[in-house]
Amino acid sequence: MQDVMHKLLIPAATGLGTAGVLFVVRGIAMRLLRKWADRTETMLDDMIIAAIKTPSVFWCITVGMGVGISVSDLHAKYVQSVSVAIHVLIIFSITIAAANLAGQLLTHYIRQTDLPFKNTGLVYGILNGLIYVLGILIILSVLGISIAPLITALGVGGLAVALALQDTLANLFSGLHILLEKSIRVNDFVKLENGQEGTIIDITWRTTRIRLQPNIVVVIPNSKLAQSVVINYSLPEDRTAIAVQVGVDYSSDLDHVESVLLDEVQKATAEVAGMLTEPQPLVRLDPGFGESSLDFTVICSIRDYAERPQMQHELRKRIFKRFKKENIVIPFPHRTIVMQHAEKERTEA
């Protein structure tokens, strides 16, 4: 018994000591690599360092196990079992590193290019799922488990699972359809059928999340969103136009009113962040004649529809102040009431 303990104690101590030394070296190396990456302009080194942070822990453990086994006198079958465990840990750690790096590269690539989808949880889920499935299949091969019967069993059982998870699969494929069609994208400002307006913050494998203007998140199943009518204010581009209506008295000089409005909106587009100077703003007299006023519409472009309330607010304030300065009257509604004495009406009757 003492001989067995002795045979186990020496490899265990050697393995733990090696792993401990490697952990210290890993900590020092990670700090030096981060400092070096901070001095470089490329983001690739930062992504690689972040991707190997967790897997490097497994690498220290596996090297320690390997060193411990190499100095042991254990039976061949035990050595074989530990070797298989080491291979499984290495494959698993490489799978984690590959999934982390692929996710970061995808994010970086999407930011740099105009792909048919933006950064979403669904894209991450599909990419990581494929990498992890590949890693699991390699691990099964190392363990000596045949993959072919497993795939056959999954094919037969997948039919039953598909029937049981119809709603889930419908949401998954609806999410893929939304991403590939590009009708709704992350950061787009949309209006739902019920009148709610908000910004798309994520499209996952099951739901789409929309942040409304009161900072409330609405979660909608992808299948329901794909079947509903959605107004996307960010297509074909984020830039949009806003209109502000203002009425003036019938005694006003219309040319002067038009000149004042145009001058004020041009100043606003040059001074207010979010308003655009191109296309140039317009002032138009509305068709027809109002009951109490002549109505003008001021039209200008803004960079984002989500900023529409703030831009209209700013424009109305400027117009009101300028009208007071120019003595242009914004009339109140007028009503003419004709009253007759009831006695006179009876006499005439």
Convert the pLDDT of each residue in 298-340 to its tens digit: 998 888 888 888 888 989 999 999 998 888 888 887 676 766 6
Query: Which range among 67-71, 155-159, 195-199 shows the weakest confidence by mean pLDDT?
Result: 155-159
346 within some domain: no
Q: What is the pLDDT of residue 158?
A: 58
Residue 343 has pLDDT above 50, yes or no: yes
Peptide bond into 236 cis (omega under 30): yes
Q: Which of 141, 163, 185 is the last residue of a domain?
A: 163
Structure tokens at 59: 């690498």
Q: Are residues 228 and 245 in the same domain?
A: no
Q: Are residues 21 and 77 in the same domain?
A: yes
Rg (CA), the chain: 35
Residue 2 has pLDDT above 60, yes or no: no
Counting residues of the chain whose pLDDT is more than 70, the rounded percentage is 79
Q: What is the pLDDT of residue 277?
A: 85
DSSP type of residue 228: S
Convert the pLDDT of each residue in 272-307 to its tens digit: 888 888 888 889 988 888 788 888 999 988 888 888
Q: Are residues 49 and 133 in the same domain?
A: yes
Residue 164 has pLDDT above 60, yes or no: no
Confidence band for 101, pLDDT divided at 50, 70 and 90: confident
Provide the number of structural domains found in the chain. 3
Structure tokens at 105: 């590269």
Taking a C-beta distance cutoff of 8 angstroms, is the pair 133, 91 a contact?
Answer: no
What torsion do the CA atoms of 319, 320, 326, 329 make, to the nearest 10 degrees?
Answer: 120
CB burial string 32-63: b at 16+ within 10 A, e below: ebeeebeeeeeeebbbbbbbbbebbbbbbbbb
15 within some domain: yes
Taking a C-beta distance cutoff of 8 angstroms, is the pair 147, 141 a contact?
Answer: yes
349 within some domain: no
Q: Are residues 14 and 154 in the same domain?
A: yes
Q: What's 204's domain CATH number?
A: 2.30.30.60
Mean confidence (pLDDT) of the chain: 78
Structure tokens at 180: 């590939």
Q: Are residues 156 and 247 in the same domain?
A: no
DSSP type of residue 305: G
Taking a C-beta distance cutoff of 8 angstroms, is the pair 143, 88 a contact?
Answer: yes
Residue 104 has pLDDT above 70, yes or no: yes
Q: Are residues 279 and 215 in the same domain?
A: no
Q: Are residues 218 and 179 in the same domain?
A: yes
Q: Which of 232, 261, 276 is the last residue of a domain?
A: 232
Q: What is the pLDDT of residue 10?
A: 66
338 within some domain: no
Amino acid at 323: F
Residues 6+ apart with CB under 8 A from 78: none
pTM of the model as a whole: 0.53
223 within some domain: yes
Q: Which of 185, 208, 232 is the last residue of a domain?
A: 232
Taking a C-beta distance cutoff of 8 angstroms, is the pair 309, 233 a contact?
Answer: no
Q: Which of 101-105, 128-132, 273-277, 315-319 has the highest mean pLDDT?
A: 315-319
- Percentage helix, strand, coil for the chain under 3-state DSSP, each rounded to 5: 60, 15, 25
341 within some domain: no
Q: What is the pLDDT of residue 1?
A: 46
Once rounded to an integer, what is the mean pLDDT over residues 90-115? 75
168 within some domain: no
142 within some domain: yes
Once rounded to an integer, what is the mean pLDDT over residues 227-232? 88
Once rounded to an integer, what is the mean pLDDT over residues 178-202? 85
CA 250 to CA 255: how far, in whole Å? Answer: 13
Counting residues of the chain whose pLDDT is more than 90, the rounded percentage is 1
Q: Are residues 223 and 247 in the same domain?
A: no
Structure tokens at 18: 């090696």
- DSSP letters for 248-259: E-TTS-HHHHHH
Q: What's 287's domain CATH number?
A: 3.30.70.100
Q: Are residues 12 and 149 in the same domain?
A: yes
Q: Are residues 140 and 244 in the same domain?
A: no
Q: Are residues 138 and 27 in the same domain?
A: yes
Q: Are residues 204 and 311 in the same domain?
A: no
Q: What is the pLDDT of residue 159?
A: 58
Q: Residue 55: which domain range?
A: 2-163
CA 325 to CA 341: how far, in whole Å? Answer: 45
Confidence band for 24, pLDDT divided at 50, 70 and 90: confident
Once rounded to an integer, what is the mean pLDDT over residues 203-232? 86
Amino acid at 18: T
Taking a C-beta distance cutoff of 8 angstroms, is the pair 221, 231 a contact?
Answer: no
